[in-house]
Structure 1
Amino acid sequence: MAGFKEFDQYDALGLAQLVQAGQVNPLELLEESIARTERVNPRINAVIRPMYDISRKRGEGAFDGPFAGVPFLLKDLIASFAGVEMSNGSRFYQGFVPAEDSEYVKRFKRAGLNIFGKTNTPEFGITPSTEPELSGPSRNPWDPLRSPGGSSGGAAAAVAAGIVPMASASDGGGSIRIPASCCGLFGLKPTRGRVPSGPDQADGWFGFIAEHVISRSVRDSAHMLDAIQGNYPGQLMRVAPPAHSYASALERKPKKLRIAYSTDPALGETLHPDCKQGVLDTVKLLESLGHVCEEVKLPIQREEFIYAYSVLICSEMAATVAQGERLMGKTAKAADFEARTWALAKLGKSFSGGDVAQALWTLDQFSRQWMTYFEPYDALLTSTLGDLPIHVGGLRPTSQELIELKALAYLPIGFIAKQKDFVLKAGRRIYNYCSQTIPANVTGQPSMSVPLHWNAQHIPVGMMFTGRWGEEDVLFNLAAQLEQAKPWFDRRAPIHASHSA
């Protein structure tokens, strides 16, 4: 069946409207996305598990929902699709096939999406660059020497390369917003509990992880959040439903907002000049639109925060490995995992219950102080990242770091538990890179990366807005205003399916 050559002119909602009007067939859209995948994926390695037969069979049936018949890609992490392997980017999980859909996936299907493949992700999503040893690195369509970010890097690369207008993503330390920034796309992390993560998976990373999508347009993100948000029986973290739809927030007359902004490096040591310039240019744009902007210093104790967050992530990784042993029915060994993953799990086992409780207390106290400080403001503006999109390999352990990581496998747990300096040193490059995104995961606030800046070399530099708890509508309203004032929808990356036709 022939594809649909006008694919690029529409976002996901626009394609669905064509389907609903009978102007295009869902199978035509599917075949167009498949053809685009085959054309451009060898250059970016975004789609690592095609599901063509499943999607073609579904494409023959009727579709309903706001995104009826739109091709879609699912991140190969957390989100279970019954009967399809979910490796989580890990050799250890190869061959793991979930028996049921997660609630998140059920809602995608009810929204009318036709899932035709899974996207690349780092092992268990623990790094902000998508370079798993299992399936190889994804590459940024804006510059193939650079990473599309992580952990939703495969998703962002696929959208930026024109394979789909929107793809699934999840965010435990910036993993929606980082790839959105790297690839010149829009990505919103919802309020904690807004989108369900269960019932087959725990609320990952102590509740820091939120699931949603990465998209080309703001309205796709808003309509999708309307489709997948909401509580379900047995959900542990529940939030009040929005008073009005997120889609309606896009049509609302913009209000004059009070916006804090900062060029502090936050969890990092430096802020790249292009990131700083992006913030300053965005402040000018906001003021031209009638908003009030005030510069602030970020209230964060860097080392205290990093150590507490690291204790929790390492502990989570130890639990993840143990859970994998139960699911896979085999004993985990160092050779089954990447060196960094195994080292984090080993560190996680070394911390006591008291260490974990202390880390939780530290971050709870941080959250209270942070949200109290920013309560007078409608949003906080920073750059999304502390640096430009990292080059592929830029965050891999150095040879010396590999020696140190592998040595952990042979050291006594009691010795490891005392190595605070080692924990801080090991994460230095990563925290310097994703220096701005993690606080919103800890507080649970909604936060979005908006593609408002490109540097002189045409590399995307995302701008991040973090709102009050539960106020996604304020962020969507602002994003719609910014999208109109400084459009990005028609920008095309150098590696793009339409260029390669």
Structure 2
Amino acid sequence: MDVRDYQAHDPLGLAALIRAGEVSAGEVFAAACAAIEAGNPALGAVVRTRFEQAREEGQRVDPSAPFAGVPTLTKDLLMAIGGEPLAFGSAAMAEWRAPEDSSLVTRLRQAGFSILGQTATPELGLMGITEPRAFPHPVNPWAPAHSPGGSSGGAAAAVAGGLVPLALAGDGGGSIRIPASHCGLFGLKPSRGRVPLGPMFGEVWQGAVVEHALTRSVRDSAALLDAINGMDEGSPWPLPREEGFLDALSRPPGPLRVAVSLGEPLGAPLGARLDPEVRLAVERAASRLEGLGHQVEWAEPDLDGEALADSYLTLYLGHLAADLAWISEQTEVAVSRLAIEPATRAIGRLGRCLPARDYEAAKRYWNRVARDMAAFHRRFDVLLMPVAATPAPHRGALYPTPARERLMALLAIPGASRLAMKAGMLKRLAADSLRMTPYTQLANLTGQPAMSLPLHVTPEGLPVGVQVIGPMGDEKCLLALAAQLEAEVAWARHLPRPPGG
């Protein structure tokens, strides 16, 4: 199997070829390694490889596993491989090694995947772009001058660039859906607790973070969810293993009540300006759904975008402060001496000044929003809205400017952070951080499943995804709808892109 043949198949397609004896797992492995070695220097998607370890592990794979012999990449964040580096995108963790496999990695092994390496992420997964100081910055395979998004930008670049047909990703505020939108991929964020984060963590960001993958096809996302879902030992979310996600694709979703929104309640308070191409993508998706027999209505959920952003950033600050304390314990380096970026240090300092009552009030607000959305879904089966305010931005355009970093450095001075909190720095931080991507945090706060569908390409050749949010726990409805649209649009014809092209 040469690289072009390898890139022409999705994961289930590769697994079927291997089971039928048309190619060997070794041939697929060799093609994947060749694709990474040839394409990654231009893409910058993979921060480290583990070819020899994967080759050895491949000898022990159960040939009946659903993804036996299929190559993949995990994210350099949370997805621990026992005894191997996991840097969380940070120089502060560059020498740290995970004590054991994460539950997700264990399930990937059981499903037959060959884990060839880890993909780039911003430091601690904190940004909607992937431009860490400590590692190369991945490029968007559709347009190398543009960002692949974040925080799963390395995963998106790897799949869209043809390095692997599926890459694992995580989503705490849009980190699967934003890269999917920018790179023309399918990206599903499952319901809260659907995929375990243990044993190192029970929950991350109060359950906002969920792990899954970026894929070319809907069927691979569904089959992966069949393989990895369900609580692990000690999980705080009692969600037992569920089957039938792949089977759900074989049944049309039936006429759905679809609410359509341009996200004004979420974006307007933060100063977001919707790009005309994003508006067009949503409008065309609504028309397409209507043509498929769904009942489409323009309707806005009753949401306070400013309050939602404040509550999201409040917990974001608190968790970052706790994360830095954990890194200090793991590395035996004082927080003040950790090799972290200026923005990370300043935001962590703000988090240390956060009153516990504000943290708890923010979490209670999440519950209120979740109940409001549950009421909304009594009227509508799904909500269609933008993923991001614009197509993929240029690389470097959203990273803090030198002037902004100098301000952040001042905030890291003891005493200044407390004054900044009193002066309303949190609201400024929320507006600055979320102005370009104010539409994805909603599903993280409420725990609902949400997906990005690659339904539009701009005249300049940049993909634009549209977001669909469903009721809590109803991934099967979303996947069935995605499969219906995929059959209509055939978006996979755009992929894979030539490595670095």
User: Smaller-chain TM-score range?
Assistant: over 0.9
CA distance in 2, matches of 1:390, 1:307: 24
CA distance in 2, matches of 1:36, 1:447: 31
- Are residues 1:145 and 2:149 paired? no
Pairwise CA distance, 1:360: 1.2
For 1:67-146, what aligned pairs fall within 5 Å after superposition? 67-146=67-146
Report the TM-score when normalising by structure 2.
0.96
CA distance in 1, matches of 2:195, 2:273: 34
Pairwise CA distance, 1:63: 3.4
Which AA in structure 1 matches 2:12?
A: L
Pairwise CA distance, 1:254: 3.1
Residues 451 and 468, structure 2, Cα contact 8 Å, conserved in 1: yes
Q: Which residue among 482, 495, 498 is the counterpart of 1:496?
A: 498
Structure 1 alignment gaps of length 5 or more: none
Q: Which residue among 350, 354, 376 is the counterpart of 2:353?
A: 350
- Are residues 1:313 and 2:312 paired? no
Which stretch of structure 1 is more off in the superposition, 430-439 or 410-419?
Answer: 410-419
Which stretch of structure 1 is more off in the superposition, 321-330 or 396-405?
Answer: 396-405
CA distance in 1, matches of 2:356, 2:407: 25
For 1:170-181, what aligned pairs fall within 5 Å after superposition? 170-181=170-181
Aligned-partner SS, 1:450: strand
Q: Which residue among 361, 364, 371 is the counterpart of 1:361?
A: 364
Residues 205 and 313, structure 1, Cα contact 8 Å, conserved in 2: yes
* Residues paired across the two proteins, number: 495
Residues 161-193 of structure 1 show CA distances to partners (whole Å, capped at 9, x for unaligned) of 011110000000000111111100001000001
For 1:246-265, what aligned pairs fall within 5 Å after superposition? 246-265=245-264
Residues 202 and 234, structure 2, Cα contact 8 Å, conserved in 1: no
For 1:300-339, what aligned pairs fall within 5 Å after superposition? 300-333=303-336, 336-339=339-342
CA distance in 2, matches of 1:111, 1:222: 13
Pairwise CA distance, 1:134: 0.4
Pairwise CA distance, 1:394: 1.3
Residues 240-269 of structure 1 show CA distances to partners (whole Å, capped at 9, x for unaligned) of 554x51011000133010110101342342
Give the structure 2 partner of residue 417 of structure 1. 421
Aligned-partner SS, 1:475: helix
Which stretch of structure 1 is more off in the superposition, 265-274 or 249-258?
Answer: 265-274
Residues 63 and 69, structure 1, Cα contact 8 Å, conserved in 2: no
For 1:161-200, what aligned pairs fall within 5 Å after superposition? 161-200=161-200
Residues 414-464 of structure 1 show CA distances to partners (whole Å, capped at 9, x for unaligned) of 3233132x2222332431211111000000000000100111111000011
- Are residues 1:380 and 2:379 paired? no
CA distance in 1, matches of 2:390, 2:376: 26
Residues 194 and 239, structure 2, Cα contact 8 Å, conserved in 1: yes
For 1:5-84, what aligned pairs fall within 5 Å after superposition? 5-64=4-63, 65-84=65-84
CA distance in 2, matches of 1:335, 1:239: 37
Q: Which residue among 438, 455, 460 is the counterpart of 2:458?
A: 455
Residues 317-343 of structure 1 show CA distances to partners (whole Å, capped at 9, x for unaligned) of 000000011111121236611111111
Residues 334 and 342, structure 1, Cα contact 8 Å, conserved in 2: no
CA distance in 1, matches of 2:240, 2:84: 33
1:60 to 1:233, Cα distance in 2 relative to 1, 3 A: closer
Report the TM-score when normalising by structure 1.
0.96
CA distance in 1, matches of 2:339, 2:420: 21
Residues 47-106 of structure 1 show CA distances to partners (whole Å, capped at 9, x for unaligned) of 010111111222344433100000110101001001210000011111111121000100
Which AA in structure 2 matches 1:219?
A: R
Residues 279-330 of structure 1 show CA distances to partners (whole Å, capped at 9, x for unaligned) of 0001110011000111012422122221111111010000000001111112
CA distance in 2, matches of 1:172, 1:335: 24
CA distance in 1, matches of 2:252, 2:283: 25
Matched residues, percent identical?
A: 37
Give the structure 1 partner of residue 446 of structure 2. 443
Deviating beyond 3 angstroms after TM superposition, the runs of 4 or more aligned structure 1 residues are: 2-5, 60-64
Which stretch of structure 1 is more off in the superposition, 474-483 or 136-145?
Answer: 136-145
Which AA in structure 2 matches 1:141?
A: P
Structure 2 alignment gaps of length 5 or more: none
Give the structure 2 partner of residue 391 of structure 1. 394
Which AA in structure 2 matches 1:211?
A: E
Which AA in structure 1 matches 2:447?
A: G
CA distance in 2, matches of 1:79, 1:378: 33
CA distance in 2, matches of 1:228, 1:193: 12
Aligned-partner SS, 1:205: coil
Residues 445 and 466, structure 1, Cα contact 8 Å, conserved in 2: yes
